[in-house]
Structure 1
Amino acid sequence: MTTSHAIRRAALGVATVSAVVLLAACGGEQQHTGAHGAPAAADAHNAQDVTFAQGMIPHHQQALEMARLAPGHAASAEVKALAARIEKAQDPEIRTMTGWLKSWGEEPPMEGMDHSRHGGMAGMSGMMSADDMTALEKSTGADFDQRFLTLMVAHHQGAVEMAKTEKAKGRDGRATTMADDVIAAQSAEIKQMKGLLGQK
């Protein structure tokens, strides 16, 4: 009986050690997965997401520059309301995208830069040239309304194209969601502006 009892105790001890080792292994595996998952989440963006944010920030900034002219230059109440809506939507998006770039270790476009007159931005889809911006600043009344709507349609169309590229090639969920928002909001505004211009 003594020998049998000793064998049972030994077997129990082996089983206990095995269970502890198994639990430790499981715990270690979970810990590894968690540790691996964290960097994966932090690195969930790609080069397209960076390009989208770095391009859309100055694109939005130029739209704000245009919109802020409306209260003192536009004749149409609809144009003024549209400009206010553009400013309300795009200003927070600039701050959000700037935060993404900083969190990714990327350089945001310089704040306060006059992007309409910055040569490197002139080739971006829908961006106004320096001459366009100067002409808009000098115009008032119905002439301003016509110029503003015509230029903003092209500007919005450029933003929609940029957002579609982000949707197709981007990886960061927040960035692709913002791209969805840009496409929806600016497509609706394009339709409205074309209506105000008498276009279909």
Structure 2
Amino acid sequence: MITTTRRRLAATATALTLAAALTACSDAAEPAAEPPAAAATSSAPEATGATGATGATEASEHNDADTQFAQMMVVHHQGAIEMAERAVDKADSEEVRALAERISAAQGPEIDEMNSWLQAWGEEGPQDADMGGMDHGGMDMGGMDMQSAMTELEGLSGAEFDRAFLEMMTEHHRGAIEMAEAQLADGANAEARDLARKMIDDQTREITEMENLLRNL
């Protein structure tokens, strides 16, 4: 009887030992859970895509003030380039010719940039838009419109031409600054507002240069 009991106890102990060993093997074979950091990394491409879509939306966002700024400033810049090119041909002073060349070189690319905005926004270019109700501030130079100003310049030469050009371009720049300040007050598009700030800085600096040139004529 005692021998039978001992055999049963030994069998039970053996079974318990085997079960413990199997449990340990099962725990070792089970793969570790994915750490939270790995899961966060896998979602990164989706987040990047969302940011890109938001950036595109912000770039196309605009209001009527942005549209009018681009349309009017294209026309305004075209007038400045026309005057500047005439000064490159006729100016008596090398400093005036150099200034005129810089004005033309700077405003040409800005015209291209603003036309590209209008196209991306689905808005009309200045050649197609009804400009009648828009503020044409800055196109008036000492009581003259662009056509009258160009006619006046054609009839001048030497120092008289230089003085007239500098006076007219100074007024023209002041008009551009007014238009840029209106854009900063009312516009919504970030790129257009950035360009307006640049125009204010650039043309304020050029006004100072032209005033200095005038004092030396």
CA distance in 2, matches of 1:36, 1:122: 33
Q: Which amino acid aligns with 1:96?
A: E
The gaps in structure 2 that reach 5 residues or longer are: 1-42
User: Is 1:175 the counterpart of 2:192 in the alignment?
Assistant: yes
SS in 2 for 1:109: coil
Q: Is the 8 A contact 1:121 1:127 kept in 2?
A: no
The equivalent position to 1:125 in structure 2, one of 126, 134, 137, is 137
Partner of 1:50: 67
The equivalent position to 2:90 in structure 1, one of 64, 73, 83, is 73
CA distance in 1, matches of 2:205, 2:52: 43
Q: Is the 8 A contact 2:60 2:120 kept in 1?
A: no
Write out per-residue CA displacement over residues 73-108 of structure 1, whole angstroms, 9 at most, x where no aligned residue: 110111100000001100000000000001111111
Q: Which amino acid aligns with 1:78?
A: E
What is the number of equivalent residue pairs in this alignment? 167
Give the CA RMSD over aligned residues. Answer: 3.0
CA distance in 1, matches of 2:164, 2:63: 37
Give TM-score scaled by structure 1 length.
0.73
Q: Which has the larger radius of gyration?
A: 2
The gaps in structure 1 that reach 5 residues or longer are: 1-25, 112-118
Q: Is the 8 A contact 1:44 1:171 kept in 2?
A: yes
Partner of 2:38: none
Q: Which amino acid aligns with 2:136?
A: M
The equivalent position to 2:162 in structure 1, one of 145, 161, 164, is 145
SS in 1 for 2:61: coil
Write out per-residue CA displacement over residues 48-71 of structure 1, whole angstroms, 9 at most, x where no aligned residue: 110110010000000000000012
Partner of 2:109: 92
Give TM-score scaled by structure 2 length.
0.68
